[in-house]
Chain A
């Protein structure tokens, strides 16, 4: 009997260890159920568009064709106890289905690895071979991915709760059809007054042309939909169904590809559906400041009038109930200004107020501290500070308070960001960028290094709505509702000043010492930049140093002087020693940041010896940013036999490289802003050598959208190469794209160019 029991124990142990290496019953069942569900889902498809196996002849030269594409947005109310948020709420689901015919090796490579979101079980990848053979991809072989999910596979909802996996599709060939479907689920807890989803800019254009495209909305009856169809996207249709829920769809067939074009503003040119879902239990309770519910008895709305916009503005911009934060901002500025500069001109007051707010904008005001200098001391550190910033609305509201307190005329502007194209694309009030106009001066929200006259790049040249005329209302204190009552709104349309390339310039002067023996280049360079070309990074590393002295000139706020002690105690000496150590470490860290920045520009940096910020460029009177830098660079010089090659083009850092597939373009070109670069590279030809290849560097191209002018000047063994490169227009039609390519290719060619030092 003892033997028998021993055998049993051995069996159980052995059995247990074998099981541990195998899949569990639950895993096997899940996998089998998932596969059964995949096949059922695929088999249940009745839409004939998803049975098509051939693409149109007109798109035979394309990498791939989307034979059919369906994108579904669903919302389902969940009550407590049902699957979904623990306290009830809304489950938002997005399902993507594509049937792709692969027509070249690029498409085969792209779809040989498909990413999909994990949070929905209704998914499959199915490959149909040209001979009709069907292959189901084993989704259980997928691996989770955290970063670098290609935008192509990302859902429109950018919730951070959506997790992705990727799976390899083996043995794909040209002519195969990949039919895949996946989805994502996001849960939202209930709120009595409603839950407003972020606006989704749903691009109806794909990287590949689409034969059949359908966008579907299956919404719970308490979910409302507001849409804007742009650029010929067609109108959303409502289906009358008896199930009590709301069903809409948008059909788009024969859509040309956009192929992920560089410098593209999809909302401006692509067929696009901008939409917003709003969930509210009781429509009458809904009181969101920025978004628009459909009118009564309507499930869907597609237009928003100016009147509606203004009806919401007073609550949206918080004029009636300025928050503690806004009062803190404005009150602080007013108090300090009056304390330190009791008699300044209005213009000067505005200027100083702006810089005061800019200072405050660097950190959160929620923990408002009247000891201003204590807060600012946080910035005296090596790493670039985090910009918590100040919201546009808070900024504008604070200015309204300041204007009211001082009895100034003011107007409020609502800028339409360039990426939206125009006012017609606006879907919610949050699309606007509000700003204030005082004394005909437009004042925009501040960034770390913005100056008062700055026009934000995304508003430059764009359309705006100017609202009302501010009439001083001194009696109303901080309750600002009076001026902006609905009936007092007066509209006018305006345009914000554009930024020309002259306003955004980057000028770099290199003085190089070539060391052929070490094959290193010692670089002493100085940079003068203006407008949007001011390097944020270099500046931010250094701007915190002695901030008070610099900011004093702008704001007039002086630091309280500490009384000097005659005799230093041992404690003070120790403190100073520690401080000195910290400062030294800070200085090293700063140089390390600069080195990283240079390396990011594809330079092999041996060391950065010095960096000095001469002028921060943060004030109206001195808007240029100037710095000098000394560094030693490796790998620019290489020995070839008795001669040396010098990669002179690489000195100016990485340049835009246009790939072959980018040559043809469907859409217009939209750069951030027009800008001008100029470089001067000076070096002395090493003794005993002559330089060859200099003349080949010279180029001169000038066309309506861009220019490049490279000149070489030499005198004795002194050489200077002057490069002037300009992006003249911030946006232009695709007809001019070849002009742009011409210049970019020329810059690329310079970047790859070399000169030779031969024994003389």
Chain B
């Protein structure tokens, strides 16, 4: 699944570079924005099941991290100076804390990775190269693959449990939506972007005789600036 998705993204973005090389500045369709989320994000993974069901399950990992995020946006359609329908590829890499209530201490793991892809409607400032608006916004829907934590820390017993739970508990694929607000700085030198992303996916798992219902969650608030 992830492999196919990656190939699709790559194909679309490479298509974007065709527009990128055109001389006319106003026709350019590629936009890059760099974001930071200073511990203003929350990720909750899936419950991890052990291969041997009788040994139970591992509680979901929850993460708060300092995220670095790069938005690569390609405008598929630009109907006017101020609007665009765009594809956004928004990989994010984080350093921070991941905890798991089954483990003994806070800081069970660290590091996380998010790869959402959105289909988005952009309007106003920063939507196109031609827009002269002071402010703009974007709203998009898509899917996100996330993975957390990269590294799990804990005592020997817990590590064993983690090993058991690794694949099921650390990666998720879920639907997400994003809302962004853009504003030019007073001198017009920087385009600041505030972005909120939220997604969740309910699921249920059977553990032995028990059915557990829970949801995967991905939330982040990011502040970024465009350097396109």
Contacts and interface: CB of A to CB of B under 8 A. Distances in A.
A33 B21 CA distance: 24
A420 to B, nearest CB: 43
A110 interface: no
B130 A32 contact: yes
B191 A18 contact: no
Given A15-B30, A36-B132, A29 B3 contact: no
Chain B interface residue bracket vs A: 20 to 34
B228 A7 contact: no
Nearest to B133: A29
Nearest to A36: B132
B20 A8 contact: no
Interface string B1-36: 011001101100110010011000110101110000
A7 B25 contact: no
A15 B3 contact: no
A26 B14 contact: no
Contacts of A30: 188
Contact of A8 (B6, B28, B184, B189): B6
B25 A28 contact: yes
B104 to A, nearest CB: 34
A18 B227 CA distance: 12
B17 A15 contact: yes
A563 interface: no
A12 B89 CA distance: 11
Contacts of A15: 17, 20, 30, 32, 72
A interface residue count range (under 10 / 10 to 19 / 20 to 34 / 35 or more): 20 to 34
A139 B164 CA distance: 67
A1 B2 contact: yes
B226 A25 contact: yes
A307 B130 CA distance: 64
B165 to A, nearest CB: 22
Nearest to B125: A29
A29 B91 CA distance: 27
Contacts of A22: 25, 28
B106 interface: no
A14 interface: yes
A57 interface: no
B70 interface: yes
Nearest to B4: A4
B42 interface: no
Interface in B124-161: 126, 129-132
A321 interface: no
A43 interface: no
Given A22-B28, A25-B226, A26-B191, A11 B3 contact: no
B171 to A, nearest CB: 13
Nearest to B13: A11
Contacts of B7: 4
A26 B3 contact: no
A23 interface: yes
B132 A8 contact: no
Contacts of B203: none
A18 B17 contact: yes
A32 B188 CA distance: 12
A1 B10 contact: no
Interface in A1-52: 1, 4-5, 7-8, 11-12, 14-16, 18-19, 22-26, 28-30, 32-33, 36
B10 A4 contact: yes
B190 interface: yes
Nearest to B228: A25
Given A11-B10, A25-B226, A18 B129 contact: no
Contacts of A36: 132
Contacts of A18: 17, 20-21
A29 B10 contact: no
A25 B30 contact: no
A23 B25 contact: yes
B188 A29 contact: yes
A23 to B, nearest CB: 6
Nearest to B225: A26
A604 B186 CA distance: 57
Contacts of A33: 132, 188
B194 to A, nearest CB: 17
Contacts of A26: 184, 188-191, 226
A334 to B, nearest CB: 59
A8 B17 contact: no
A546 B126 CA distance: 73
Given A25-B129, A33-B188, A4 B3 contact: yes
A181 to B, nearest CB: 20
Nearest to B26: A28
Interface string A227-264: 00000000000000000000000000000000000000
A234 B178 CA distance: 66
Contact of B6 (A1, A23, A24, A25): A1
A521 B129 CA distance: 70
Given A15-B20, A25-B228, A29-B184, A7 B10 contact: yes
Nearest to B25: A28
Nearest to A7: B10
Contacts of B31: 25
B28 A5 contact: no
Contacts of A29: 129, 131-132, 184, 188
A24 B26 contact: no
B142 to A, nearest CB: 16
B17 A32 contact: no
A358 B142 CA distance: 85
Contacts of B184: 26, 29
A154 to B, nearest CB: 26
A33 B187 CA distance: 12
A716 to B, nearest CB: 81
A4 B12 CA distance: 12
Contacts of A12: 70, 72
Contact of B227 (A1, A7, A24): A24
A8 B13 contact: yes
Contacts of A11: 10, 13-14, 17, 72
B3 A19 contact: no
B220 to A, nearest CB: 20
Nearest to A1: B3
A8 B3 CA distance: 13
B126 A25 contact: yes
Contacts of B26: 28
Contacts of A83: 186
A22 B28 CA distance: 10
Nearest to A32: B132
Nearest to B22: A22
Contact of A4 (B6, B25, B30, B126): B6
Nearest to B189: A26
B175 to A, nearest CB: 22
Contacts of B190: 26
A5 B93 CA distance: 14
B18 to A, nearest CB: 11
Contacts of A28: 25-26, 129
Nearest to B6: A4
Centre residue among A11, A14, A16 by max chain B CB count within 10 A: A11
A598 to B, nearest CB: 52
Contacts of A19: 30, 32, 227-228
A119 to B, nearest CB: 13
A1 B9 CA distance: 12
A263 to B, nearest CB: 46
B163 to A, nearest CB: 22
Closest 8 CB pairs of A and B: A4-B6, A7-B10, A25-B228, A1-B3, A28-B25, A11-B13, A30-B188, A28-B129
Given A12-B70, A19-B228, A26-B191, 10 more contacts: A1-B6, A4-B3, A5-B6, A15-B72, A18-B20, A23-B25, A24-B228, A26-B226, A28-B129, A32-B132
8 contacts: A4-B10, A8-B13, A8-B91, A19-B32, A25-B126, A26-B184, A29-B188, A32-B132
Interface of A: 1, 4-5, 7-8, 11-12, 14-16, 18-19, 22-26, 28-30, 32-33, 36, 83
